[in-house]
């Protein structure tokens, strides 16, 4: 059975383009894997706490520290169990939402999801596939604003650091341009989602 983890991070709820595209991705994946188990984590609707002193202690002692470690263990366990991870990541001020960054902050834990070796860091979450849906108001994949893209490179670095290197990006850009540009971009992204999901499901 295929395990799919869905992570949405948009603050727009039902109006989110990235969430709509993520939903389509999962629907397409389930066509080829009807028995797939889907676990959904919406950090936009239910934000993950940002790091505090309670989150980063090596050995939890207080109730708050133990609760923080329990949440981190749960988030890590969801990724460890997943075969395919589908992430919805809108661009906020050139980067990812802070809620998604908080999710990664709990996921990246030395000795659990990565380790340091004499040859350098080694990710411990290998053998997984990720589909990342990016939504952007402008055009950042090419042209003069490409240098401002701190979204996709950051996601690649975070995923790669824990060993998830089989990553496919689907981009819905120019959403804040004209209504025609927005409609065309979403339609193109929908087509790309279908192609990507079919390819991943067949692999």
Taking only the tens place, the pLDDT of each residue in 91-127 is 999 999 999 999 999 999 999 999 999 999 999 999 9
pLDDT band at 37 (very low <50, low <70, confident <90, very high): very high
Superfamily of segment(s) 3-202 = Flavodoxin domain (3.40.50.360)
Angle at 161 between CA 147 and CA 19, to 5 degrees: 65
So what's the pLDDT on residue 63?
Answer: 87
Q: 131 and 170 in contact (C-beta within 8 Å)?
A: yes
Angle at 98 between CA 96 and CA 104, to 5 degrees: 80
Give dist(CA 34, CA 157) in Å, integer: 32
Q: What is the pLDDT of residues 43-72, one digit of tens each?
A: 999 999 998 887 787 888 888 888 889 999
In order, the DSSP letters of 138-158 are S--SSSTTGGG--SHHHHHHH
pLDDT at 171 exceeding the cut of 80: yes
Q: What is the mean pLDDT of residues 168-193?
A: 96
Calculate Rg over the CA atoms of the chain.
17
pLDDT at 19 exceeding the cut of 90: yes
**C-alpha to C-alpha distances, 183 to 100, 179, 194, nearest whole angstrom:** 26, 6, 17
| Torsion over CA: 147, 166, 185, 10 (sign) | negative
Q: What is the pLDDT of residues 124-170, one digit of tens each?
A: 999 999 999 999 999 999 999 999 999 999 999 999 999 999 999 99
Q: What are phi and psi of 83, to 5 degrees?
A: -95, -40
pLDDT at 3 exceeding the cut of 90: yes
Query: Dihedral (C-alpha) 172, 174, 175, 176: value to the nearest 10 degrees?
Result: 160
Give dist(CA 26, CA 18) in Å, integer: 12
Q: 131 and 196 in contact (C-beta within 8 Å)?
A: yes
So what's the pLDDT on residue 52?
Answer: 86
So what's the pLDDT on residue 188?
Answer: 95
Q: Where are the domains of the chain?
A: 3-202
So what's the pLDDT on residue 1?
Answer: 82
According to DSSP, the residues that pair with 107 across neighbouring strands are: none
pLDDT at 32 exceeding the cut of 90: no
pLDDT band at 182 (very low <50, low <70, confident <90, very high): very high
In order, the DSSP letters of 62-109 are SHHHHHHHHHHHHHHHHHHH-SEEEEEEE-BTTB--HHHHHHHHHH--
Q: 151 and 94 in contact (C-beta within 8 Å)?
A: yes
């Amino acid at each position: 059975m295929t395990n799919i983890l869905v992570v949405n991070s948009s603050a727009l709820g039902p109006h989110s383009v990235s969430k709509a595209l993520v939903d389509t991705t999962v629907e397409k994946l389930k066509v080829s894997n009807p028995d797939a188990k889907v676990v959904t984590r919406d950090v936009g609707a239910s934000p993950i706490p940002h790091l505090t002193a309670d989150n980063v202690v090596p050995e939890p002692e207080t109730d708050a520290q133990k609760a923080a470690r329990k949440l981190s263990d749960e988030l890590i366990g969801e990724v460890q169990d997943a075969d395919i991870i589908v992430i919805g990541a809108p661009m906020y001020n050139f980067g990812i939402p802070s809620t998604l960054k908080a999710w990664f902050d709990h996921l990246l834990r030395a000795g659990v999801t990565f380790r340091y070796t004499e040859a350098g860091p080694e990710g411990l979450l290998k053998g997984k596939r990720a589909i990342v849906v990016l939504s952007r108001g402008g055009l950042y994949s090419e042209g003069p604003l490409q240098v401002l893209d701190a979204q996709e490179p950051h996601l690649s670095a975070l995923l790669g650091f824990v060993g998830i290197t089989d990553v496919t990006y689907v981009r819905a850009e120019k959403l804040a341009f004209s209504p025609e540009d927005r409609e065309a971009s979403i339609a193109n992204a929908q087509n790309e989602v279908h192609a990507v999901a079919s390819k991943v499901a067949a692999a």
